[in-house]
Amino acid sequence: PQSSFPAKMVSILSVSLVLISTVGMCFNTFPWMQIQDINGDPVDNPTLALVEAFCISYFTIEYLFRLAGSPVKWDFMKGTMNVVDCLAIAPYYLDLFFAPPPELDPTAPRTAPPTSSED
């Protein structure tokens, strides 16, 4: 980030996407942000899932660009922060490829109804 203005902008974009991704994952844990599948079980909000997919795609492309630009690939992959990056990206792809997709009810509302504590 200290090498040039564009490098600083990419760094700010990366940090911003980490923040957006983290906030999105936190919001996705609230029942009022989730939708229900055909069995009535809560599943991820599609809008937040799209935001997460965009962020993970950016992180993956950034990692692959850094790997491609590395003179010694094995040393790059053994670097502590690069291992952390792989471990942060991997769960998304493992879930994407191995978890069954939720069966959504097309007639259900897009969000779960808010719960009221008033009786």
The predicted pLDDT at position 119 comes to: 47
Percentage with pLDDT > 90 across the chain:
53
- Between 96 and 107, the higher pLDDT residue: 96
**Mean of pLDDT values over 76-95:** 92
Q: Identify the residue with better confidence: 95 or 104.
A: 95
What digits encode the pLDDT tens for the residues 12-47?
999 999 999 999 989 988 888 888 877 878 888 889
Between the CA of residue 18 and those of 13, 27, 64, what are the distances in Å?
9, 14, 17
Q: Given pLDDT bands bounded at 50, 70 and 90, which one contains residue 106?
A: low
Encoding tokens for residue 37? 């599948």
Give residue 109's pLDDT. Answer: 55
Residue 21: CB atoms within 10 A of its CB come to 20
Predicted confidence at residue 114, as pLDDT, reads 53
Those residues with Cβ within 8 angstroms of residue 48's Cβ, 6 or more apart along the chain or in another chain: 24, 25, 27, 28, 33
